[in-house]
Amino acid sequence: MKKETLLELEDIHVHYGGVKALNGASVSLDEGEIVALMGPNGAGKSTILKAIFGLAPIQSGKVLWEGHPFTPVSHEVVERGIAFVPQGRRVFSDLTIEENLEVGGFTIRDSKILKERIENIYDLFPMLKQRRTLKSGALSGGQQQLLAVARGLMIDPKILLLDEPSLGLAPKVVKEVFGFIKEINQRRKTAVMVVEHNIKSLLEIADRGYILDKGKVVVSGEPKKLVAEGTLEKVFTGAH
C-alpha cells in the first residue's frame, strides 16, 4: 500500500542577502518514514528544515502539506502537526524536566490532555520520568537532547524535524539518541526528517536520503544504495 505524502517542497529558493542557501531544492516526506538530509557544510540542509517551519525566507517555489500548497508560518505549522527540534540541545535549563514538557505542550488548552501527553512521553522516556523534578540544566548533554526531542513530541506531531540531534554527543550516547528516534518513528508512526553529520548512525535508521550540495539536491534514494554507489563520498570530496 502506497503511503500518503505528507510534505513536499518543490523548487525552493531561499536567499540570505546575496547568499543562495537553497537554489531550487525539492524534497518530500511520506507518512511514517525517516528521511535523511546529508551533504557538506553550507549545502542547505538546515535551511530546508527552517523553510518548512517558517523560519527561512522562501523567495520562490512551493510547499505542499498533504497535497495542498501553504505558506509556512511557525505557529500555523505547529497546528498542522509539525514539530522542529533545532540544533544545540535547547532546553530551559532553569525549569524542571516536567516544566520543559509543559512548555512543549503550550498549544494544549485542556489540562487533562496535557497530563496524558506528559505521561505518554514518560512511557517513551523512562529516564525523564525518574528525573521529572530535576532542573534540566543538571542533565547530561545526551539527556538534554532527549528532553529537547521529547518536548517536540508534546504536540503529538505527524512530522518531527531534527537538526543535528547528535551534535557534541559521545558515540555511545549518539547510538542511544538514534535508537530513540527509531522507536518514536515505529511506536508513534511519526514521520521524521533529520539533518545529521553523523552519517553512519543516520543511515542505519533512515528509509530514504537526500544528498545536497550548493543548495540543490544532487541525488536521492535508499541509504544503502547511496553509500554503495559512492555518491556521498563524491559530494563530500567535491568530486561529483
Q: Give the domain ranges of the chain.
A: 5-237
For 141-196, write each residue's pLDDT tens digit: 889 999 999 999 999 999 999 999 988 888 888 888 898 899 999 988 999 999 98
β-strand partners of 14: 22, 58
**Domain 5-237, CATH:** 3.40.50.300
Q: What is the pLDDT averaged over residues 83-92?
A: 87
For the chain, count helices (H), then strands (E). Answer: 10, 10
Beta strand pairing status for 191-195 and 34-38?
A: parallel
pTM of the model: 0.90
Beta strand pairing status for 19-30 and 82-85?
A: unpaired
Q: Give the whole-number percent of the chain exceeding pLDDT 90.
A: 64
Examine the pLDDT at 21 and tell me if it is beyond 90. Answer: yes
The Cα–Cα gap between 125 and 138 comes to 17
Indicate the residue type of 40: P
The pLDDT confidence band at residue 240, using thresholds 50, 70 and 90, is low
Please provide the average confidence, as pLDDT, over all residues in the chain.
Answer: 90
- Provide the 3-class DSSP secondary structure of residue 119: helix
The Cα–Cα gap between 12 and 22 comes to 6
**Which is more confidently placed, 84 or 107?**
84
The Cα–Cα gap between 47 and 55 comes to 8
Query: What angle (nearest 5°) sits at the alpha carbon of residue 189, between those of residues 185 and 194?
Result: 40
For 53-66, write each residue's pLDDT tens digit: 999 999 999 999 99
Q: How many residues does the chain have?
A: 240
For 120-139, write each residue's pLDDT tens digit: 999 988 999 999 999 999 99
Which residue, among 142, 143, 152, has the nearest Cα to 53 in the 3D structure?
152
Dihedrals phi, psi of 135, to nearest 5 degrees: -65, 135
pLDDT at 85: 92
